[in-house]
Amino acid sequence: MSASAIRALFAVASRPEIVSFAGGNPAVEALDFEAVEDVVRQVIRDAGATALQYGVGQGRPELREHLVTVMGAEGITAHADELIVTAGGQQALELVASCFVDPGDIVIAEGPTYVGGIGALASCQADVRHVAMDDHGMQVDQLEDLLAELQREGRRAKYIYTIPNHQNPGGVSLSVERRHRLAELADAYDVMVLEDNPYGLLDFAGKVYPSIRELIPDRTIYVGTVSKTFAPGVRTGWIAAPAPVRDKLVLLREAADLCPSSLTQMVVETWFATQPWREQIDSFRDVYREKAEAMLRALDEEMPPGVSWTRPSGAFYIWMTVPAGIDTDDLAAKAIGRRVAFVPGRGFYADGSGGDRLRLCYSQPSPERIREGVTRFGELLYDELALVRAVYGTHGAPEPRARPADPAPSRGQEPG
Ligand code: PMP
């Protein structure tokens, strides 16, 4: 595994003079810190000896009950016994990869997909095959072609990794029709699905989509996290999996770190038991909706012709495509010079493509700073396009070439 250039970018992007659209950090400052303090105190005061002791590998039953209720807020049914508490969704992705993947095994993922998801797969030397997306998520007809092609070759993917709701980095959701088609295809080709759902409760209009797990429960490994609905600092996520898979994952989890932190599990449990968590999620939604609107307005006004982007209806991300002749790795370095940061596209593909794409995250800066950052970025893009025209004239620039993929994007390079 190797560190990627993105890690260096994050170090620079955190400087105060830079408007950062880079890291996908939730707006934890919108939490009621006094309420959090009360919760932490209550845990230590009422059950300190339990909170400071080892726990069980699967995670506390009390917390798992609350997580079942959280899943219920999206219309997903589960039993606490099916759940394993993990150190965030990231550990869940890693455990599932190490459970299923031997070197060279095929895993299908959206293209682009979550950097940390690629990192988990790369650490197991998976052969990641991407399926392109459009405004309605993964293009399931292409998924079908790929599954059929693999079948002809006598091969089978270990699983299909999908982030169906407000995808990171695509900023789009899988349409209801395509969810049904994906479920049918998984059944027809006998493939498991890994459904990663950190953002399902952050739809700006409060809309919830049907979960893949509800459609094909026996084939779906569901991953949830409290990172975006409460706080990533408590490192609490979970897996809901069919019993045989759950049992293996518990063993792997125990081999990695024995058990989840009792202290943070009890903090999260007490948060859900005593605080108005649904209202808190509503207020997170309002925060992100306002920022998304500010970002989209600014982009509509400041971007040169030829640049296109997705229009999110929830969560944090906008996925942008720039005109031929501009390479977003180079552009990201130049953007730092203009005091604005974003993540270039290649890190979101396992095959080195994405050189004409980039991700903008609006979850952190204020609406005013968002406007400032987009203005600076627009000026840079106008200058770059003038340069491209000067070099290539009216013949147009060549399509960007795929660079060899980073052998293994390291995990942790992208905070969120
Ligand atoms: N999956 C996706 C799609 C994500 O965007 C993230 C975090 N940005 C994670 C999983 C993991 O987050 P955590 O470990 O904090 O739950």
Q: What is the pLDDT of residues 34-56, one digit of tens each?
A: 999 999 999 999 999 999 999 99
Helix (H) or strand (E) holding 33: helix 33-51
Task: Give the model's confidence band at 6: pLDDT under 50 very low, under 70 low, under 90 confident, else very high.
Answer: low
Task: Give the model's confidence band at 3: pLDDT under 50 very low, under 70 low, under 90 confident, else very high.
Answer: low
* Cα distance between residue 340 and residue 132, in whole Å: 28
Instruction: Please identify, by atom number, the ligand 1 atom nearest to the C-alpha of residue 416.
Output: 8
From 259, 276, 273, 245, select the one nearest 63 (Cα to Cα).
273
pLDDT average, residue stretch 13-22: 91
Contact 138, 174 (CB under 8 A): yes
Contact 290, 142 (CB under 8 A): no
Answering whether pTM is above 0.85, one says: yes
Task: Give the model's confidence band at 180: pLDDT under 50 very low, under 70 low, under 90 confident, else very high.
Answer: very high
Residue 410 pLDDT: 47
295 CA distance to ligand 1 centroid (A)?
22
pLDDT average, residue stretch 267-287: 97
Residue 106: strand pairing partners = 127
Backbone angles phi, psi at 341, to 5 degrees: -130, 145
DSSP letters spanning 59-115: --HHHHHHHHHHHHTTT----GGGEEEESHHHHHHHHHHHHHPPTT-EEEEEES--H
Task: Give the model's confidence band at 195: pLDDT under 50 very low, under 70 low, under 90 confident, else very high.
Answer: very high
Instruction: Give the closest residue (by CA) to ligand 1 atom 10.
Output: 89
The structure tokens listed for 358 are 């980039």
Residue 1 pLDDT: 53
25 CA distance to ligand 1 centroid (A)?
10
Q: How many CB atoms lie within 10 A of CB 311?
A: 13
Query: What number does CATH give the domain 5-30+279-392?
Result: 3.90.1150.10
* Cα distance between residue 277 and residue 275, in whole Å: 5
Selected residue with higher pLDDT from 13 and 376:
376
Contact 413, 3 (CB under 8 A): yes
Q: How many CB atoms lie within 10 A of CB 399?
A: 10
Q: What is the DSSP letter of 409?
A: B
Residue 412 pLDDT: 43
* Cα distance between residue 370 and residue 357, in whole Å: 19
Instruction: Give the closest residue (by CA) to ligand 1 atom 7.
Output: 416
pLDDT at 415 over 80: no
Residue 411 pLDDT: 41
* Cα distance between residue 100 and residue 141, in whole Å: 25
Residue 339: which residues within 8 A CB-CB, separation 6 or more? 17, 18, 19, 376
CA 168 to chain centre: 4
* Cα distance between residue 306 and residue 324, in whole Å: 9
Q: What is the pLDDT of residues 347-392, one digit of tens each?
A: 999 999 999 999 999 999 999 999 999 999 999 999 999 999 888 8
Q: Mean pLDDT score of the chain, rounded to an integer? A: 94
* Cα distance between residue 167 and residue 109, in whole Å: 12
Which of 118, 121, 225 is the pocket-test mutation for ligand 1 (most atoms within 8 Å of CB)? 225
Q: What is the pLDDT of residues 304-316, one digit of tens each?
A: 999 999 999 999 9
199 CA distance to ligand 1 centroid (A)?
9
Contact 319, 112 (CB under 8 A): yes
Contact 57, 250 (CB under 8 A): yes
Instruction: Please identify, by atom number, the ligand 1 atom nearest to the C-alpha of residue 113.
Output: 3
CA distances from 89 to 150, 188, 237, 269, 405 (A): 29, 28, 5, 17, 24
Contact 176, 210 (CB under 8 A): yes
3-class state of residue 238 by DSSP: strand
CA distances from 81 to 49, 88, 195, 211 (A): 25, 18, 19, 19
C-alpha R_g of the chain: 21
Residue 393 pLDDT: 78
Q: What is the pLDDT of residues 117-129, one digit of tens each?
A: 999 999 999 999 9
pLDDT at 203 over 60: yes
3-class state of residue 408 by DSSP: coil
The structure tokens listed for 165 are 């709701």
pLDDT at 215 over 70: yes
Residue 338 pLDDT: 96
27 CA distance to ligand 1 centroid (A)?
14
Binning the chain into helix, strand and coil, the percentages to the nearest 5 are: 50, 15, 35
Q: Taking CB atoms and a 6 Å cutoff, what residues make up the pocket around ligand 1?
A: 24, 88-90, 114, 116, 163, 168, 196, 198, 225, 227, 232, 237, 416
Residue 74 pLDDT: 96
CA distances from 45 to 50, 265, 365 (A): 11, 15, 37
pLDDT at 188 over 70: yes
* Cα distance between residue 267 and residue 51, in whole Å: 9
pLDDT average, residue stretch 301-329: 96
From 99, 106, 102, 170, select the one nearest 132 (Cα to Cα).
170
Q: What is the CATH architecture of 34-276?
A: 3-Layer(aba) Sandwich (3.40)
Residue 5 pLDDT: 62
pLDDT at 413 over 50: no
Residue extents of the structural domains in the chain: 5-30+279-392, 34-276
Instruction: Please identify, by atom number, the ligand 1 atom nearest to the C-alpha of residue 92.
Output: 14
Instruction: Give the closest residue (by CA) to ligand 1 atom 6.
Output: 416
Instruction: Please identify, by atom number, the ligand 1 atom nearest to the C-alpha of residue 91.
Output: 14
pLDDT at 8 over 90: no
Q: What is the pLDDT of residues 135-156, one digit of tens each?
A: 999 999 999 999 999 999 999 9
Contact 364, 25 (CB under 8 A): yes
